Amino acid sequence: MKELDRGAEATISVDGDVVLKDRVKKSYRLNEIDDKLRKFRTRREAKVLNKLEELNFPAPRLHAMCDKLMQLRMDMVQGNKLRDVLYQNPVVLSEELGKKIGIMHTNDIIHGDLTTSNMILDNEIKFIDFGLSFFSAKEEDKAVDLHLLRQALESKHYDIWEKCFEAALKGYKQGNSDSSVVLDRLKQVEARGRNKAKF
């Protein structure tokens, strides 16, 4: 077994073509609180992955969930991180990712960490790392998800982010029939962000 990544929330290891995600114990939290939180997040991520499989959405397929070990076993997603290849065809790829975010939001799935490091390009864009994901029908949560995408694009792809985000919103409208209310709320979210920046 080989460790692929170690983040604040979990370690990611690979065993053949299977990925193991283990939620890390936090020593600064009381044991009882830590166990409950990690168990809740492990179960929630598993539910999101199962829903995505029902939708035939391009994301890892869940093999097993163990809320005693706080572990998920899932498919290894092959390909290049979108972060590294977005520049090759930024507008077309951004429109595709926007459409897929729209599909998730139509099904009330909030990713919670929409960065191009959490998207893999193979024959299509596939989404990974649903550790912060949750279910919500609220326009606010969907708008914040898009706002986080904008911030990620601006940070990692500063020379092309504007055309990428514009294309992503175009795709979003194709994937989400209720896009107008979410995009209206996005304007409010971004206005709040600008006002905070003034102080």
113 is catalytic: yes
Count CA within 13 A, CB hemisphere, residue 102. 22
Which DSSP string do the residues of 153-196 spell out, in sequence order? Answer: HHHH-TTTHHHHHHHHHHHHHHH-TTHHHHHHHHHHHHHHHHHH
> Rounded to whole angstroms, how far apart are CA atoms 181 and 32?
40
> Rounded to whole angstroms, how far apart are CA atoms 65 and 75?
13
> Rounded to whole angstroms, how far apart are CA atoms 12 and 22?
7
- Options 35, 84, 108, 113, the catalytic residue: 113
Which DSSP string do the residues of 61-123 spell out, in sequence order? Answer: PEEEEETTTTEEEEEPPPSEEHHHHGGGSHHHHHHHHHHHHHHHHHTTEE-S---GGGEEESS
Active site residues: 113
